[in-house]
Structure 1
């Protein structure tokens, strides 16, 4: 059953199709150019653009089966984040880009993947 009014809630985080236990609070960026104003003494002259790196970041729950050493060395993978509102964020040709630190209190591992391209599927 479709929920047209649902905007947030349950998410699914996958790397090359393998689902991991998402903790929530993920952020993402599709990598669109960032616009910065060019300002002169006489006013705003326009803007310039800077390239941004597409990324998906958040936290997952550690498990007995998760090989953290292998996980932090992932490269060339496809990462997906399925959102409660029906969108899927896709990061292609991605690599792990974080410290690989874990927390014992809630078995939490902070993760960040960066990639060559990001896409939003509706």
Structure 2
């Protein structure tokens, strides 16, 4: 029996649904580890906090503008995936300057937050 693992997805910022175009990436890992190697052997690893994110392409138009996206700070951002998983960013903001792809009427949005969860 087949099981859906990819496909339809939805994204909201403070309850407002964005027109998700595609290229949805989620990374809610709280830490990043880097191996430490000495001259004689691997000594272990260092662990640092990392900023979790949700990144995607959204359509621009009457419902969504670059100004609206730029104004997002301290938001709850939720991505719901076809496989039933839900990813949430807390106290999220939009990170990058926005570039409009006029040919396709969209922009890439990267939300970053203080923490994330998976359900």
TM-score bracket for the superposition, by shorter chain length: over 0.9
Q: Paired residue for 2:39? A: 41
TM-score normalised to structure 1 length: 0.91
Partner of 2:86: 88
Runs of 4+ in 1 over 2 A off after TM superposition: none
For residue 71 of structure 1, what is the aligned residue in structure 2?
A: 69
Partner of 1:97: 95
Corresponding pairs, count: 119
Distance 1:59 1:53, change over 3 A: same
Q: Structure 2 length normalisation: TM-score?
A: 0.93
Distance 1:94 1:4, change over 3 A: farther
CA contact (8 A) 2:30 2:115 kept: no
Unaligned runs of 5+ in 2: none
CA positional deviation for 1:85: 0.5
RMSD: 1.4
The aligned counterpart of 2:52 is 54
